[in-house]
Amino acid sequence: MIDNFKPPIKSRTTEELLNIVGSPKKWNRDAVYLAKHELANRNVDTSEIENAIKAAEKEEAEEILRKANKSYQISDFVLTPKSTLLELLFTWELKKDGYILKAKQQKTFRITLIIVILFVYLIKFIQES
């Protein structure tokens, strides 16, 4: 197999190779294969490879948990009100992307925002009449 990666897999540090092998979902299949092969050539102990895989799995689980518990904060509305409101109104895949708490909050905020917007337009319409 040809190493067309930049930088080449063979020139990477052992730590970088362990990161590649530990996170195969993030890497090209050929890169993972070449990294495993290079680690074998460097006589890296299989326990180190297993530890790298476990560490990557733990990091991935922590990231999933972090996403699931991420919520809207008051600072989101103060610091970035436009993008937060646009996200609340038009983003449909928060739950699919793993943001479970944000998706729950979005349902409530979306309904409230729509009611407020309709109420404002209704008052404006009544005042113009």
C-alpha closest to that of 48 among 9, 10, 17: 17
**In a shared domain, residues 84 and 123:** yes
pLDDT of 95: 92
- Return the pLDDT at 2: 80
Tokens of 25: 């979902």
Q: Retrieve residue 102's tokens.
A: 């944000």
pLDDT of residue 61: 93
Q: What confidence score (pLDDT) does residue 128 get?
A: 84
| Same domain flag for 34 and 61 | yes
Count of domains for the chain: 2
Which residue is listed with tokens 């297993």? 50
pLDDT the model gives residue 114: 87
Distances 7 to 20, 35, 36, 43 between C-alpha atoms, Å = 13, 12, 16, 21
Do 53 and 91 fall within a single domain?
Answer: no
With a CB cutoff of 8 Å and minimum separation 6, the contacts of 72 are: 84, 88, 102, 105, 106, 109
Task: Look up the domain containing 107 and give its range.
Answer: 71-128
Residue at 4: amino acid letter: N
* Rounded-to-integer distance, Cα 45 and Cα 111, Å: 56
Query: Looking at residue 4, what is its pLDDT?
Result: 80
pTM score: 0.64
Question: What 3-state class would DSSP assign to 85?
Answer: helix
2 is a domain residue: no
Q: 38 with 21: CB under 8 angstroms? A: no
CB atoms within 10 A of CB 21: 23
Q: What pLDDT is attached to residue 100?
A: 94
Residues of the chain with pLDDT under 70: none
